[in-house]
Structure 1
Amino acid sequence: MTSTAHATGHYGFAHAARMEWIKLRSLRSTGWALLLTVVGMVTIGVVTMANTEAPGSASARETFDPTNNVMAGIALGQLLVGALGVLLMTGEYASGTIRSTLAAIPDRRLVLTAKAAVFGGLVLVVGEVVAFVTFLAGSAALTDEVAAPSLGDDDVLRAVVLSGAYLAQVGLIGLGLGAVARHTATALGALVGITYVLPLITAGLTGTAVARFFPTMIAGNSVGVAVPVADMLPPWAGFGMLCLYVALALGTGAWLLSRRDA
């Protein structure tokens, strides 16, 4: 940080981002959560593909999508990354460090923007790496009876890339929920409700009519598929819906932060 910034007490985005990067990498939970995400997704992907069998009927071959199978571990990855996003925000309130953060950077929206940029960028890189590693390792685990998907096949590359981006989006949703709630258990409960509980309840009550708009359903049936799934959102529409979730969570969090005391 520059001496001018210290002298005037004014910090710009670059200073805020640097501060957030230092805090993020100093947290033990960051490394452990990302490591578990990588190991868990790759392991689940390999095990799932090793147990994938070739479709026996013509109708089954039409809907067979090994690319979707290999990304099965995203259900675990989203929980870990989303929880990390929550903790990144609520941990500052629990420890009291939010006071020193806001004393240095009174613009609370700038603080949240810097957190989102740093955390989102890190998780996006990790998400893309784990998505491609999972795809390659899982494809290699297929039996000889099952044709392995290729990144050159129709929509496969798009499915892998958007699956990696999905992790970053869920992480940012978790960050936004943390800013809204400021309490870890409450924010985690909201995250689990949005990603797991509500999709199951609405699917049981209304089928795909409502459930298809929830993040987990979008990940498993829209952005992470190479073969279209009936009655679900198209891939890019699903991606756009996820962007709206991110904007809503972070926007609400920023609005509440600007109106609360530390």
Structure 2
Amino acid sequence: MVLGAWMVSAGYHSSYTAADRASFDPGDLTLRGVIVTQLLVGALGVLTVTGEYTSGLIRTTFIATPQRGQVLAMKALIFTTVVGVWCTGLSFVAFFVGRSFLTAPVPPVGLGDPGVPTAVFGGGLYLAGVGLFGMFLGALLRRTAAALAALVGVMMVLPVVLALLPGNTGALVSEYSPAGAGFQIWHLVHSGHSLGAWPGFALFTAYAAATAAAAFFTIRRRDV
């Protein structure tokens, strides 16, 4: 995330024009590294569950704690706490690093500006959500390769495919994909048809919650 903030922000001022002022989005610039980081955090979430299935230790875990839903819930709680704190910290570091490279004629940006605190905190919230989404996919599919393929397909490939739909349909529909909805929380500038920061994040949370419900349902009913 920090590297992404430096790479994107360092060269932005040289191409900045007066026409860019209306669409200037400091959240998108300084937190652009979220796009790549989400795959790493999501993969960590997947491995948190599938690692035990691959090694066979999941049997020992379920023997020690027969309440399988409790096992998954505690994994999710610990993962959210640790990853959420780290990613929120990285989001703040990325913002300050990126801001330090945004020199004139780019407008100055600070944490006190409208929407900026939401975007910076939102970067950490979104990444924690992606990690949980990956964890629940891992619990559903139980195979690292399958869960990673599903994660990349939903978070990276699906928005691109939807954006290819003709006319404004693609842009409109892609906003309602998991990634398109979740992205709204760390952006400050929203298009006319976008959901907005908190409604978009609420929809993203609903996708993750639906995956969690399916994971809790299936983990209780299969042999392992």
Q: If the length of structure 2 is used for normalisation, what is the TM-score?
A: 0.94
C-alpha separation between the residues in 1 aligned to 2:157 and 2:219?
Answer: 27
1:209 and 2:175 aligned: no
Opposite residue 242 of structure 1, the aligned amino acid is F
Root-mean-square deviation over aligned CA pairs: 1.3
Residues 176-210 of structure 1 show CA distances to partners (whole Å, capped at 9, x for unaligned) of 00000001111111100110111100110132222
Amino acid paired to 2:81: G
Distance 2:29 2:192 in 1: 17
SS at match of 1:72: coil
Q: Name the SS for the 2:93 alignment partner.
A: helix
> Where do 1:1-262 residues align within 5 Å?
41-53=1-13, 55-58=16-19, 60-205=20-165, 206-220=169-183, 222-262=184-224
The number of residues matched between the two structures is: 220
5+ long unaligned stretches in structure 1: 1-40
Structure 2 CA distance for aligned equivalents of residues 215 and 69 of structure 1: 21
Larger radius of gyration: 1
What fraction of aligned residue pairs are identical, expressed as a percent? 41
Superposed displacement of residue 213, structure 1: 1.5
Is contact 2:25–2:188 with CA below 8 Å preserved after alignment?
Answer: yes
Please state how far the C-alpha of 1:219 moved relative to its aligned partner.
4.1
Query: 1:55·1:64 contact (CA, 8 Å) conserved in 2?
Result: no
Distance, in Å, in 1 between the alignment partners of 2:18 and 2:99 is 22
Q: Tell whether the 8 Å contact from 1:49 to 1:138 is kept in structure 2 after alignment.
A: yes
- Cα distance, 1:106 vs. partner? 0.4
Deviation digits for residues 122-169 of structure 1, max 9, x if unmatched? 111011100000000110122333223111001011111111100000
Alignment match, 1:14 = none
**SS of structure 2 residue aligned to 1:64:** coil
Contact residue 75 and residue 216 of structure 1 kept, 8 A: no
- Deviation digits for residues 71-96 of structure 1 (CA, Å, limit 9, x no counterpart): 11001110000001001111111000
Q: Is the 8 A contact 1:163 1:219 kept in 2?
A: no
Give the unaligned 5+ runs of structure 2. none
State the alpha-carbon separation in 2 of the partners of residues 67 and 182 from structure 1.
35
